[in-house]
Amino acid sequence: MAQAVPVEEQEVREAQLSLDERAQIARSPSHPFEGIKEVGTFYWSETDEEGNLYYRFCGGTVVTSPGKNLIATAAHCFDDKDQQKAMVFVPKHSKTNPKPYGVYPIQKGQIYADPRYMKKGGDKAYTSLDFAILKTSARSDGKLVQDVVGSIPLGINLGFDHPKTRVLGYPGFESNQNPLDCETSIKKFTTGDQDGWKGGTFVEINCDGYVSGTSGGPFITAGSEAPRLVGVTGGWKTGGHSANTSYSSYFGNEIKRIYDAAVSGKMPAPVALPDAEMWKHAKDIQSGYFTLNGPVENDSMDMFVMWTDGELSLYRGAGKELNYFDMEFRIQKPSKYWATNAKQVVAGDFTGDNGSDLIVRWVDGEVTLYPSVDEKGFHGEKQLVPPNETWGKYAIALTAGRFGGNQWQDDLVVRWNDGELTVYQNTGDKLGKEIKVLAPNDQWTKAFELGSGDYTHGDVWDLVVRWEDGRVTCFGDFTGSSLGTQHQWQPPNKTWTHAMIVTGGDHSDNPWPDDTLVRWSDGELSLYTDGDENGMGRENQLVAPTP
CA distance 152 to 170: 18
Least confident of 28-42, 119-133, 268-282: 28-42
Confidence of residue 476 (pLDDT cuts 50, 70, 90): very high
SS3 assignment, position 112: strand
Give me the torsion for CA of 80, 269, 318, 293, rounded to 10°.
Answer: 10
- Residue-level pLDDT at 193: 86
Domains along the sequence of the chain with CATH: 5-264 (2.40.10.120), 276-540 (2.115.10)
Residue 428's CB is within 10 A of a number of other CB atoms, namely 17
Given a cut of 50, is residue 25 above it in pLDDT?
no
pLDDT over 60 (residue 2): no
Which residues have a Cβ under 8 Å from the Cβ of 542 and sit 6 or more positions away? 273, 323, 324, 325, 525, 526, 527
Pair 418, 393: CB distance under 8 Å: no
Average pLDDT over residues 146-170: 93
198 vs 9, residue with greater confidence: 198
Torsion sign, CA atoms 206, 208, 212, 214: negative
pLDDT at 357: 97
**What's the CA angle centered on 514, arms 511 and 518, to 5 degrees?**
135
Output 11 or 45, whichever has higher pLDDT. 45
- Of the pLDDT bands very low, low, confident and very high (cuts 50, 70, 90), residue 225 is confident
Nearest 10 degrees: Cα torsion 165, 170, 171, 176: 130
23-37, 244-258, 417-431: range with lowest mean pLDDT: 23-37
How far, in Å, CA of 404 to CA of 330, rounded?
Answer: 34
How much is the mean pLDDT over the chain?
88
**Which has the closest alpha carbon to 360: 389, 387, 328?**
387
The whole-number pLDDT of residue 54 equals 62
Quick one: pLDDT band at residue 34, thresholds 50, 70, 90? confident
For residues 183 and 189, give the distance between their C-alpha atoms in angstroms, rounded to a whole number.
Answer: 18
Closest Cα partner for 304 from 340, 339, 344? Answer: 344
pLDDT digits (tens, 9 = 90+) for 111-122: 999 988 888 888
Q: Are 268 and 283 in contact (CB under 8 A)?
A: no
Arithmetic mean of pLDDT, 178-190: 91
- Strands 55-63, 5-6: pairing is parallel
* Contact predicate 146/99, CB 8 Å: no
Sequence-ordered list of residues with C-beta below 8 angstroms from that of 297, at least 6 positions apart, any chain: none
pLDDT tens digits for range 329-340: 999 999 999 999
Q: What pLDDT is recorded for position 295?
A: 60
How far the first Cα of the chain sits from its last, in Å, is 41
CB 71 within 8 A of CB 88: no
Structure confidence at residue 15 (pLDDT): 46
Q: Find the farthest-apart pair of alpha carbons in the chain and give their distance in angstroms, rounded.
A: 90
User: For residue range 313-356, what is the model confidence (pLDDT) as tens digits?
Assistant: 999 998 887 789 988 999 999 999 999 999 999 999 999 998 99
Q: What percent of the chain has pLDDT over 90?
A: 65
pLDDT band at 3 (very low <50, low <70, confident <90, very high): low
Evaluate if residue 1 carries a pLDDT over 60. no
- Provide the percentage of residues in the chain whose pLDDT is more than 70: 90
How far is residue 130's CA from residue 145's CA, in Å, rounded to a whole number? Answer: 24
- Mean pLDDT over 363-378 rounds to 95
Rg, C-alpha atoms of the chain = 28
The residues, ordered by sequence, that sit 6+ positions from 98 with a Cβ below 8 Å of its Cβ are 1, 2, 4, 90, 177
Which stretches of 410-458 are assigned E, i.e. beta strand? 411-416, 421-425, 433-438, 447-453
Q: Give me the mean pLDDT over the 77-88 stretch.
A: 81
